[in-house]
Structure 1
Amino acid sequence: MELKIDGQICDPGTDPIAVPGYAATEAESIEAAREGRSLTLKIPFSPRNNALLGWADDAQTAFRFNDTTHSAELSYEGARLIEGSVRLLSVGDDSYEIEIRSGGADWASQASWRQLDDLPIDWKARLTPTMICQSWTNDSPVKFFPVHHDQYEQQNSSTDLLPAERFLAVEDYHPFLHVASLVDEIFAQSGYQVKSRFLESDLFRSLYMSGAYATRDTTAAVNRMGFAARRLGPVTAEANEVGRVVANPDAIANTLGNIVDTATPQSIDDDGQAISGLYNNGNCFSTVDGKICFTPPSEITVGFEYYLKYTTYHRILSRDRLIGFDTIYLGSGSEFQFTLANRYQDQRDNIARNITYRVIVFDHKDGAQYRLTLNRGVAQDTLWTTFSARTVVINSPATGQLSNLKLSVYENGQWVPYTGNWALHNGYIGEYGTTTVEVRLRSSPEQVSPTSPKYFNLIYFGGAEEEMKLTLHKECSLRPVFQPGPAFGSSIDFTDVARHNIRQSELLESLFHLFNLRCYTEEETRTVWIEPEVDFYGAAPEIDWSRRTDFSRPVVCEQIAPSVHEKRTWKFLEGDGAVSRFNSEEQTTLGAWSYASPSCATMMGEKTLRNPLFAPTLSSTGYYLNAPSARLLQVGDRDDAEDDGTNFTPRIVRYAGVIPLPEDERWGYPSGRNEYPLAAFLYPGDESTEPFTLGFEDRDGAEGLHRYYDRQLRREAIGERVSLWIHIEPHEFEELFSPGVGGPDIRSIFRIDTGKGIVRAILRQIDEYDPRKASTRCTFERIDQL
């Protein structure tokens, strides 16, 4: 044996030395990767050792060996058996006791104390609709996906032709962090390179986890100065010459008055009903000279949440868009622009007999003449009508199969196909009408103090045509938001969207749990190999040790099943509102999967393996009425009084990219296209996207993540564990822990002789290794029985 400390040869003494072997459990978790191997040994007092250890035996001259970092290496016949850091444990009468620590991955140690938002990810942005839209297609490590905050739906007026249109504001998008970028940076931050086919796979590169904004306990602020204000009744105003109405009681015309009226509990509205949910702590909400204002008892940074429901007059502008009140200004830096979608169905491809229709030519020019033709049964291009106005109401023929509607325009003495924008709507739909809009907005935080209160008289609604009317409904509300999270227009960086208060190791552990990952770290080259269990074993060349068995020592074969539970269940953290209701209604647990071993030799009972970080997520359709087929991630809990919509339990989703919507659907401002970003935990698939799930169970035609556990579970149910004594040369022992050299290593498949035949197996454990002995006890698990 040769021992070196800090590169200098020292005297190892004459006592036998057996170095630690290997346990496969070291590859199965981040905590195990931190621990590594350690060897404690005694070396004698000698001039060489005394010098290397700082004369630790002499109290007069000694310096403290452990004050600085030292390294040690133990080798045999040139083969390195163990190396790593060394520390002095004690000084005896004639010897030093030292400990060599090896294999404890530095990246795992650093990940266990570093926060997720400590990652030096270079990302900065300004929170605007344009930035959100751009994030879907660029290579940003942060993308903003639309989410549906769990809530009780508002009732629509019985006179509305269509349900209220919900605008998606920046608060309806949530930051999601690219998992692969996070994992790459965790290792790079510690100076390691990763080799992994799985981490480079399309599946892994498509994963995103929900981000989180900074939060704080706002209970004291709410109790001291919080309020919730509502309107007493509806109010209507008419647009001025620039298409605006203001919410300013001091304005002479085109005004709605105050945006809300009262925060006094049990106030009675104009319908004689008591308004629920009102409060005014500290009387900080008041009316001063007719204007509502917020006056805090001390200076504070605060934003405000507005729930606005209004009905706007509109004109059908095009097949896709209406013109009406589509701009809301809440103050400096808080102007929200949207697009009023034309949600009336275009009937050109769905003509019925004896029905009244309205034709609208959106690009009409005065003097133009139009001809409408269609097929009636076998008769093609039959004249339906001619007209010369922008819009006309007509009845369809009473007989025949109607199809192939065509519009022509008269140009240069002949009828030619019209290539402009036009539509065929049901006849009861007028060119002018009304649309009800719902939107929840948060203004940018601002400084408010007793001497500089917040007035709400700068608000206006715009984008309409002169004399168009806007009716503000009594459901409108206003409340202060004391959370420090960003709002529209805020400048943000990675740390602003990664405030989960979790360690980096928690993310890694959760990924290990999802995909049954295994890892091995080679500290000398600072390289980490990571793969799912099914791919980790067999990644290195197969090795034939069938002639290495020492039959002078016992060979023990035992079933693996007695060491595992009869039933094991993989699941996630508890889901919130939508998931809880789904689980209750379907009598299931979304994302969970159980395996019952066929063996009768297992331990009794069930073992639950719960993901330490993520909760499952359902997606909802029909929420965003411009694109009702779009699937939005449903988050939050409508029955949780403390859920303010800022953050939610961490989620993991798969991003499938921007996918098409049906032809008659459009995503809102600023995209305006018939496509949207699809991010989901579970997706049943469509014509362009295969079904997928990140749950452990199979669902909706997608195979669950249990596929990463299936081979291991079959092996544990029917397989054997074999313990025998193997002759291992020192250089072979060294190579087992050096995956990068291209030879056999701990990931290899081994051919071993049990005395009853040659079997193929994976290595589970090597006991202490002494190269001077004939053989070493090793434990394998057979894979040839699967």
Structure 2
Amino acid sequence: MKLTIDQIPCDLDPSQRIALDYDAQDLADVRSGNKGHALRLRLPATRTNDRIFGFAAEPYTGQRFNAAQHTAVLSDGEAKLLQGSVRLLSAAYDSDPEGYLIEIRSGTSEWARQAAAEMFNTLGISFSGRLTPTMIRQTWTNNTPVKFFPVCRDEYTPELSSVELIPVERFLSVDDYHPFISAATVVQTLFSEAGYTLESDFLNGEFFRSLYLSGAYSSRDTNALRNHMDFLARRTTTAATTANSDGRVYANPYKSINSVGNFVETVNPNDQNDLGETLTDVFSNNHCFTVEDGEIVFRPMTSVTVAFEYHIRYITDHRILDRNRLKGIDSFYLGDGTEVQGALANRYADRRNSTKPAFQYRAIVFNHTEGNSYRLTCTVNGTAGHAIGEFDSRSALVTTPSGSTVTAPVLLCKAAGSTTYTTYTGDWALYDGYIGETGQTEVEMTVRTNPVTVTPTSPKTFSTIYFYGAEPGMKFSLSRQCTLRPDFTGAPGLNTPISFEDVARHRVRKWVVLDALRHLFNLRFYTDEETRTVYVEPADDFYRLGQTFDWSSRIDRSQPILLGDAAQDAERVRIYKYREADGAVTRLNATLEEPFGQWRLVNDSAAAIDRERNLANPFFSPTVSETECYADAPSALVLRVGDRDAPDTTDRNSFTPRIVRYCGMQPLPAGERWGYPSTGDSYPLAAFHRNDPDNGFTLCFEDRDGQQGLHRFYDTQAEQEKLCQHLTLHLRLEPCDIERLFQIQRLAPCIASTFLFRIGGEEIRCTLRRIEGYDPSAASTRCTFTRLPNG
């Protein structure tokens, strides 16, 4: 045996015995690399050792061994058995024997130490930009580690529009998208910034690289600020005006025309609106929000950084522009650089493929040219070419004839100066007859602005607000349902500069996220400090990194061979699940026999421990996705987050962490359009569970809707614990065998290998579970293996 400290050989006591242990359960503990294993040795007081420890046994020595970091290596011949940090525990002075008691701590890793000490948002992931519609849209298709996926806040069903029998047109804002962070990038960065190389087929595979975990914005305690300066302001009236020659309408009390006055009008809970309803929910703490000289003003008691949340609702005249868009007020400027450019979606259904007999329709030719004439024909009872209308304007009402079937409408066009009709090749549509070329649309949107600093001497005013996008003279009315309130959380708003640190403010340390991923996929972690390599795989795959080796000849037959049921270390019932659910999942669970995301494992062996154990994920919650969230794209599957019945729903960005799988851009059915900020025919699909016969998947632990759950990563382990045995025997192991065991390889036995033993005429295949007190001077070492289900 040889011991070196900082590469200097030490003197060992020949009678000193060592005991080296290994426990495979440490592979499933991400914190084991921070704790390590301790070996204590007593070294004699020799001239060599005295110099190494700085004569620590002398009371007045000026040196302190523990003032610096030291590394110890314990070897036998050429085989390195143990390496780690060393500390001096005591030095015996004027005693028999004199000497030094040291502790060598091995199995520790710098990545594990950093993961245990540092907060999650300190990861060195490269991401920065401004929170703008363009940036959000670009993240869906580029290789950025942070993507913004649409989320639907858990709210009660939106009310119908007051001007149409469809839901209010709801513009999506940046608050309707939430940052999600690449799980693969998180893991890769955690190891690489500590100086380690990650080896993992699973973590580098397509499935894991499609996983994203929800980010988090700053969420500080705002109670004190809210108690002193919070307010909620409303309108008392619905104000109407018309757009000016530029298509604009102002919310400015100092403009007499083309203006609706102040955006909101009161914080007095005794005021009534124009329907006679008392506005009991409005308030202004310490009168920080007031009306000064006719203008609404927020004047805080002290300097404060604050954003403002505008709930905007209005009715605008519109004209059908094309099959996708309406022309009307669709954009607005809220001051301080906050500008929202939206688009009014054309949500009217084109009936060309579903015409009915004796029904009135409106034909609209989107790119009509003055002087052109049109003839609309259809197929009646199988006979084509039946004319149902002629017109020379952009739109016209037509009525289909009676008959058993009326199909295949065709628009013919006679160009100005021509005498013949030809099939029209431009774009046109056929709408229900009650739909006019012009009409009204009701719009709502909630926008949170970029935080700004406001002081008592430099208050925030709201008179630069205007709405635009209309044609001159179009009518506009601002609803009494508009509200304005401050947001003191410090979370980013529209156009705020953001970085990874801003979108990853989970109040957890790095190891918690790593442990949550370990829990989902039954991961095993092994660090080879010699090569600075971390091996990470699900349990089944980890034990495929090595080959099968026959160690029958290593058995010390003079020692007993013990077999015991593996079930005696397992609970009778284990429940694998996620952490607490939110509103949508809670309501869903009330309709299910088994909770969403939960797998109940029953071990019916009589040897099992008679108790139930809940194995909840330490970080992630399950997530329900729903359709019908957005009127323009009702088939889109969107993550629903939050809890509409929670006592405090003011912080809309705060919800429990989630993990989802990103499926890329998903095409929408014909007639559906995704809203702000892309207004395209596809949307970014991210889901926790997707019930789809062709492309479905689930991150539930249980099987659901025909999709295999994450229990697949635990099935082999569960079968071992239920049906298999632990095999305990003594093996004759050389120091070189021990050294090679901890070098992941296929050419020699290692901790990731399968071991074969021939006992009693049978072959037993198993994996290494435990080494107990290896001592090179001993004849053999007690080891425990676990049989494989097929072994």
Does the aligned pair in 2 maintain the 1:715–1:785 contact within 8 Å?
no
Measure how far apart 1:450 and its partner are. Answer: 2.2
Partner of 1:749: 754
* SS class of match (2:621): coil
Identify if the C-alpha distance between structure 1 residues 10 and 737 changes in structure 2 by more than 3 Å, giving closer, same or farther: same
Deviation string 1:275-299 (CA, Å, 9 cap, x unpaired) is: 2421221122222222222221222
Query: What is the CA–CA distance in structure 2 between the aligned matches of 1:245 and 1:440, rounded to whole Å?
Result: 19
Deviation at 1:741, TM superposition (A): 7.4
1:80 — aligned with what? Answer: 80
**More moved, 24-33 vs 283-292:** 283-292
Alignment partner of 1:441 is 2:427: no
Quote the Cα distance in structure 2 between the aligned partners of 1:738 and 1:261. Answer: 73
Corresponding residue for residue 515 of structure 1: 521
Match of 2:703, SS?
coil
Q: Which residue of 1 aligns with 2:788?
A: 783
Q: 1:157, CA displacement in angstroms? A: 4.3
Q: 1:584 aligns with which of 590, 597, 612?
A: 590
Equivalent residue number for residue 744 of structure 2? 739
Per the TM alignment, residue 53 of structure 1 is displaced from its structure 2 partner at its CA by: 2.1
The within-5 A match list for 1:667-686 is: 667-685=674-692
TM-score by length of 2: 0.97
Who is 2:69 aligned against?
69
Q: Following TM superposition, by how much is the alpha carbon of 1:784 offset from its aligned partner in structure 2, in angstroms?
A: 4.3
Shift of 1:785: 4.5
Q: CA deviation at 1:596?
A: 0.8
Q: Which AA in structure 1 matches 2:513?
A: L
The corresponding residue for 2:673 is 666
Please tell me whether the aligned partners of residues 239 and 479 of structure 2 are also in contact (alpha carbons under 8 angstroms): yes
Match of 2:47 in 1: 47
CA contact (8 A) 1:566 1:597 kept: yes
User: Is 1:552 aligned to residue 558 of structure 2?
Assistant: yes
Root mean square deviation of aligned Cα: 1.6
Tell me how far apart the structure 2 counterparts of residues 650 and 364 of structure 1 sit (CA, whole Å). Answer: 52
1:89 maps to 89
CA distance in structure 2 between the partners assigned to 1:413 and 1:782 by the alignment? 89
Determine the C-alpha separation between the residues in 1 that align with 2:85 and 2:33: 16
Contact 1:213 1:496 in 2 (8 A): yes
Partner Cα distance (2:390, 2:277) in 1: 54
SS in 2 for 1:713: helix
> What is the CA-CA distance between 1:481 and the residue it aligns to?
1.1
The residue correspondences of 1:425-574 to structure 2 (distance < 5 A) are: 425-574=431-580
What is the CA distance between 1:706 and its match in structure 2? Answer: 0.7
Matched, 1:103 2:110: no
Rounded to whole Å, the distance in 2 between the matches of 1:614 and 1:522 is 29
User: Taking structure 1 as the reference length, what is the TM-score of the superposition?
Assistant: 0.97
Which of 247, 252, 270 is the matching residue for 1:248? Answer: 252
CA distance in 1, matches of 2:182, 2:600: 29
- 1:697 corresponds to which residue? 702
Residues of 2 paired with 1:107 and 1:494: CA distance?
20
Report if the CA contact (8 A) 1:593-1:696 is conserved: yes
Post-superposition shift, 1:587? 5.3
Q: Is the 8 A contact 2:623 2:641 kept in 1?
A: yes
Q: Which stretch shows the higher mean deviation, 710-719 or 6-15?
A: 6-15
2:768 match: secondary structure: strand
Does the CA-based 8 Å contact 1:555-1:754 persist in structure 2? Answer: no
2-side partners of 1:130 and 1:138: how far apart?
A: 12
Give secondary structure in 2 for the equivalent of 1:221: helix
* Superposed displacement of residue 686, structure 1: 5.8
1:604 counterpart = 2:613: no
Query: Retained in 1: the 8 A contact 2:163–2:441?
Result: no
Contact 1:19–1:81 (8 Å) recurs in 2: no
Q: How far apart are residue 35 of structure 1 and its match?
A: 2.4
Matched residue type, 1:41? L
C-alpha displacement of 1:770: 1.6
**CA offsets 1:481-534 (integer angstroms, 9 cap, x no match):** 112111111111111111112100000110111110001111111111010011
Tell me the distance in 2 between the aligned counterparts of 1:455 and 1:236. 22
Letter in 1 for 2:217: Y
Which one of the candidate residues 194, 199, 205 is aligned to 1:195? 199
Alignment match, 2:317? 313
Match of residue 261 from structure 1: 265
CA shift at 1:701, angstroms? 2.0
CA distance in 2, matches of 1:358, 1:148: 35
- Alignment-derived partner of residue 762 in structure 1: 767
Q: Which residue of 2 aligns with 1:138?
A: 142
Identical counterparts, % of pairs = 45
1:740 Cα deviation after fit: 4.8
Offset of 1:756 from its aligned partner?
Answer: 5.4
How big is the shift at 1:159? Answer: 4.4
Post-superposition shift, 1:630? 0.9
Q: CA 1:121–1:197 in structure 2 vs 1: closer, same or farther (change >3 Å)?
A: same
Instruction: Judge conservation of contact 2:361–2:398 (CA < 8 Å) in 1.
Output: yes
Note if contact 2:389-2:399 (Cα within 8 Å) is conserved in structure 1. no
Query: Counterpart in 2 of 1:707?
Result: 712
CA contact 2:303–2:454 (8 Å) conserved in 1: yes
Following the alignment from structure 1 to structure 2, what is the Cα–Cα distance between the partners of residues 419 and 243? 32
Q: How does 1:322-361 map to 2 (within 5 A)?
A: 322-361=326-365
Structure 1 window deviating more from structure 2 (557-566 vs 409-418): it is 409-418
Deviation at 1:742, TM superposition (A): 4.3
- What does residue 287 of structure 1 align with? 291
Q: List runs of 5+ in structure 1 lacking aligned partners.
A: none
**CA shift for structure 1 position 188:** 0.8
Residue identity in the other structure for 1:577: G
| 8 A Cα contact 2:158 2:167, kept in partner | no
Residue 212 of structure 2 is aligned to residue 208 of structure 1: yes
Structure 2: runs of 5 or more not aligned: none
Distance (whole Å) between structure 2 residues aligned to residue 686 and residue 240 of structure 1: 53
AA matched with 2:671: D
Alpha-carbon distance in structure 1 between the residues aligned to 2:754 and 2:223: 59
Match of 2:10 in 1: 10
Distance (whole Å) between structure 2 residues aligned to residue 372 and residue 646 of structure 1: 52
Identify the residue that residue 629 of structure 2 maps to in structure 1. 623
Query: How many residues matched?
Result: 784
SS in 2 for 1:440: strand
1:675 shift after superposition: 0.3
State the shift of 1:123 in Å. 1.1
Q: Which is worse superposed, 473-482 or 377-386?
A: 377-386
3-state SS in 1 of match to 2:554: coil
> Residue 38 of structure 1 contacts residue 101 of structure 1 at CA under 8 Å; is this kept in 2?
yes
Matching residue within 762, 774, 778 for 1:773: 778
Could you report, residue by residue, the CA deviation over 1:376-411 in whole angstroms, capped at 9, with x for unpaired residues?
233234333332211110101211422222222225
C-alpha contact 2:168 2:444 (8 A) present in aligned 1: yes
SS class of match (1:264)? coil
Residues 469 and 576 of structure 1, relative CA distance in 2, 3 Å threshold: same
Confirm whether residue 175 of structure 1 aligns to residue 182 of structure 2: no
CA 1:56/1:452 → structure 2, altered by over 3 Å: closer, same or farther? closer
Q: Is the 8 A contact 2:546 2:746 kept in 1?
A: no
Query: Which stretch has the larger CA shift, 181-190 or 29-38?
Result: 29-38
Partner of 1:26: 26
Between 387-396 and 42-51, report the one with greater CA deviation: 42-51
Write the letter of the residue equivalent to 1:76.
D
Q: Work out whether residues 231 and 283 of structure 2, in 8 Å CA contact, stay in contact via their aligned partners in 1.
A: yes
Cross-structure match for 1:406: 410
Q: Secondary structure at the match of 2:553?
A: coil
Structure 1 contact 339–668 (Cα < 8 Å) conserved: yes
Query: After alignment, is 572-581 or 171-180 more displaced?
Result: 572-581
Does the 8 A contact of 1:578 with 1:635 survive in 2? yes
Q: CA deviation at 1:614?
A: 0.9
**Deviations for 1:628-685, whole angstroms, at most 9, x for unmatched residues?**
1111111112222433102211111111111101111111133121100001111112
- Partners of 2:16 and 2:419 in 1: CA distance: 109
> Does the 8 Å CA contact 1:19/1:82 hold for their aligned counterparts?
no
Q: Is structure 2 residue 656 aligned with structure 1 residue 649?
A: yes
How many angstroms apart in 2 are the aligned matches of 1:267 and 1:467? 32
**For residues 442 and 557 of structure 1, do their structure 2 counterparts lie closer, same or farther at Cα, with a shift above 3 Å needed?**
same
